[in-house]
Amino acid sequence: MTHPDFILIKNGLIIDPANGREAVGELAVAHGKIVPALTPEQEAQACIIDATGKVVSPGLVDLNAHIYQPGKTARETFASGTAAAAAGGFTTIVCTPDEKICIDNAGTVRLVKELIDADACVTVLPAGNITLGGKGESLAPIGALKKAGCVAITDSVGGLVNNEIMRCALDYSKMFDVAVFDHCQDSSMTATGVMHMGAEALHLGLRGLPRAAEDIVVSSDILLCESTSSRLHLQHISSGRSVELIRDAKKLGTKITAEVSPQHLFLTDKDIGDYDTNKKINPPLREESDRRALIAGLKDGTIDAISSDHSPRTPTEKDCEFDYAPFGVISLETALAVSLEALYHCGEMTLPQVLEKLTVAPAKILGIPAGTLSNGADADIMIFDPNEEWIPEADSLKSNSRNCAVLGRKLRGRVVTTVCKGKIVFRT
């Protein structure tokens, strides 16, 4: 990829939700920063990008992506994962720990950052574990994790069910000014389930995961958040009842934020009818009523952001009976298009509203200066055609893994150029 000192993007529809900007115009970049204009001398040296008929927006910001390095690099590495992110328009991603990849000490954070510096083509921010080994038994050294560079703490896939430990984590998070992310799931209720508990699971003969497993933890998280006056972020909400609980909590002033994945906005448990293991995800695809509630929650601000929940699994891991396949779906490359299909192309939200949920909203949750095209900001830019039709195919994906829930499905909305800190990291 090219790394010009100067870039001039012309004739595109510039949409910058952070500043309320929506107009055709030019966007100038000098030495990695957005500037009001280039001098004639700079323009003569600039890389000119004609964005006629395209949308120019801030690069997307993701709160929840799993990268399996160090560890299970057959699933994903920082090189492959960030290449996928760039192809999807993401310029900043939070790398969260997994059940096999723990980030619970400063030494591991430093190792992860070294790998990021060596291989990543977009900005990657590490999140650490709340508890040692992600086991939910004793707190990890939160202050040391923050000092080493973690932007958040989370036990991610397993969730944290011990309420006393969560209370202590929330108290410490205020002391060290680090975000607490929670995967809301009572694991005692989900140990044997493989899809949403409902009529479709009964029809397919598969064991179900009940909504209550999520709703119970959302309820307890809200109460703990209120009692500690801390801020808490709830990951990949999937239940309509959880949306109601979060809405009521926000009305009372609780410092809580929430995200939803694109796949939960677009697909339901009925899409599992062919036993497609690429649609086996956690939390599971739920019913149409839940999907509608999630969209309503996005529209009224109950749910703050859209995040990929990118969870790579190799073809070998997914090539088995549905019962035995691991949970997980890759979505960095398709998140924008799936979000547009679920929200924009069907008239639920405007383009600026959708982009706000993918850019400045997640940046605000993290407290980082991203998701904006303000003068002086890092030149993190996405150029995309919201109407271009394309079909995700396994062989065309940048990720090491192929477990995409929308393979072979026609989508509208495709990224053509991604710029991260002034470097062109993806271009068709």
- Residues serving a catalytic function are 309
From CA 10, how far away is CA 396, in angstroms rounded?
29
**Contact predicate 413/337, CB 8 Å:** yes
Instruction: Label the pairing between strands 6-16 and 47-50.
Output: parallel
Beta strands in 289-364 (DSSP E): 305-306
Running DSSP on this structure, what letter comes out for residue 394? G
Q: How far is CA 179 from CA 91, 102, 117, 172, 390, in A?
A: 20, 17, 23, 10, 37
For residues 322 and 377, give the distance between their C-alpha atoms in angstroms, rounded to a whole number.
Answer: 46
> Which pairs with CB-CB distance under 8 Å and at least 24 residues apart come from 313-318?
313/75, 313/401, 313/403, 314/74, 314/75, 314/400, 314/401, 314/402, 314/403, 315/401, 315/402, 315/403, 317/75, 318/277, 318/278, 318/402, 318/403
Q: What token pair was written down for 295?
A: 């969209």
Q: What is the spatial distance between Cα 140 and Cα 169, in angstroms, rounded to a whole number?
A: 9
C-beta separation of 127 from 97 below 8 A: yes
Residue-wise burial string across 326-362, b where 16 or more C-beta atoms lie within 10 A, e elsewhere: bbbbbbbbbbbbbbbbbbbbeebbebbebbbbbbbbb
